[in-house]
Amino acid sequence: MKIGGFGLLIAAVVCSPAHAAGAVPSTLVVLPIKLLDTSNEPTDQASQHAKRLVDFADHLAGDLTRSGLYRASVITADRLRQDCRSEETACLLKVAQAHGAETIFIGVVHKSSTLIMQLWARIVDARTGRDIYSRDLNFRGDTDEAWRRAETFLMSQIRDMPAEAR
């Protein structure tokens, strides 16, 4: 039996890992994102920051899931406090595993002024605690739009990381 070039192309696509039957993205939980604000601004922005942190986590989990890279969910700050008061590494890993996670997203935003924000982002193996991905990103501005752009950029960075790292 002779297979033409088109047949080989179809076979290659169907047999590729991305199209393999049963290929399921790994599970990831997004831990509550932390904020370190050393800007000393006179206006209390705690409620705006609390909303931005939750929105960032929710958008990231949604974008990661829609992309097919991960099946992502968010552990809320209240839930984490209930399950892991100490927030020590061993406890965080145990909580993530209890939620069925293979990987964990950990993020910290440092606000040093109204214009300068820094994001430390890590994806960690929930079994070993070892880093799979780590980035230190800067973004400008402390507005909903600036935070959303930072999340979109981070998502593109995660999407572009080597597949074997996931």
pLDDT tens for 76-117 read 999 999 999 888 999 999 999 999 999 999 999 999 998 999
Alpha carbon dihedral 95, 92, 45, 58, in 10-degree steps, equals -50
pLDDT for 22: 55
- What pLDDT is attached to residue 114? 85
Of 130, 129, 101, 97, the closest CA to residue 25 belongs to: 101
Can you name the CATH fold of 24-165?
Rossmann fold (3.40.50)
Give the residue-averaged pLDDT of 3-10.
39
pLDDT tens-digit map of 130-156: 999 999 999 999 999 999 999 999 999
> What region, left, alpha or beta, does residue 147 occupy, with left being phi > 0 and alpha being psi -120 to 50 degrees?
alpha
Domain boundaries, the chain: 24-165
pLDDT band at 5 (very low <50, low <70, confident <90, very high): very low
Indicate the residue type of 163.
A
Note the pLDDT of residue 161. Answer: 87
Nearby residues of 166 by Cβ (< 8 Å), 6 or more positions away: 26, 69, 70, 103, 132
What pLDDT does 15 receive? 41
Q: Report the sign of the C-alpha dihedral through residues 40, 44, 50, 56, in that order.
A: negative
